[in-house]
A and B are shown apart, each in its own frame.
Chain A
Amino acid sequence: QSALTQPRSVSGSPGQSVTISCTGTNSDVGTYNYVSWYQQHPGKGPKLIIYDVSKRPSGVPDRFSGSKSGNTASLTISGLQAEDEADYYCCSSAGNFYVFGTGTNVTVL
């Protein structure tokens, strides 16, 4: 049950796009379309922003989009805004259990 691999940090200027990768194996990301993404601001609880690889819950801006290719899932934030500065975690089903990613800190320059 190894954590999914994410870059430690990414950054971008307001209005730019950033993409966060989430690399797993063919036992989790590569097999299951149950990849989700969470945003966490400092001192706050996580917030679901993408589920089932690419679906957005009600109320989540369409600036957030998700995709998957092989064993790697990706989260793209388009039109980066100051409030997007936070930690982001991916999560995938692995059959009998789930596994989170290592987390990525997004900085808005």
Chain B
Amino acid sequence: EVQLVESGGGLVQPGGSLRLSCAASGFTLSNYWIHWARQAPGKGLAWVSRINYGGTYVSYADSVNGRFTISRDNAKNTVFLQMSNLRAEDTAVYYCTTLDSFVGYWGQGALVTVSS
């Protein structure tokens, strides 16, 4: 069965850090660009970041640029999102996804709550 499974979410204080993982099973993650998207409670989807097949190209939304770092370990079929200097407005469910690739894989999401 094809799956993307996010982990690493939780409660963190403002200014803190958290690392999300996105593990793939049932397919080869290295065949796809991988994106992170997020959805604040009761709000719409927002694009966060993406990484190419080999991890040599990355890009970020302005709102997270300089604070978040995306990376991947293709040998472990896993993509990561390192989040630093977290703010209350980063509170959201974070999804890893192939986004607009024809396969359309999405994870179930990981909740990140930034609060004191």
Contact = CB atoms under 8 A, between A and B. Distances in A.
Interface residues of B, number: 24
Contacts, number: 66
In this complex, the interface size class of chain A, counting residues with CB under 8 Å from chain B, is 20 to 34
A61 interface: no
Interface of B: 35, 37, 44-47, 50, 59-63, 95, 97, 99-104, 106-109
A102 B44 contact: yes
Contacts of B47: 91, 97-100
Chain B residues touching A, majority SS: loop
Task: Please indicate which of the listed interface residues A3, A34, A45, A51 has the most CB atoms of chain B within 10 Å of its own CB.
Answer: A45
Interface of A: 1, 3, 34, 36, 38, 40, 45-48, 51-52, 55, 57-58, 87, 89, 91, 93, 96-103
Chain A residues touching B, majority SS: strand
A52 B97 CA distance: 16
Task: Please indicate which of the listed interface residues A34, A48, A58, A100 has the most CB atoms of chain B within 10 Å of its own CB.
Answer: A48
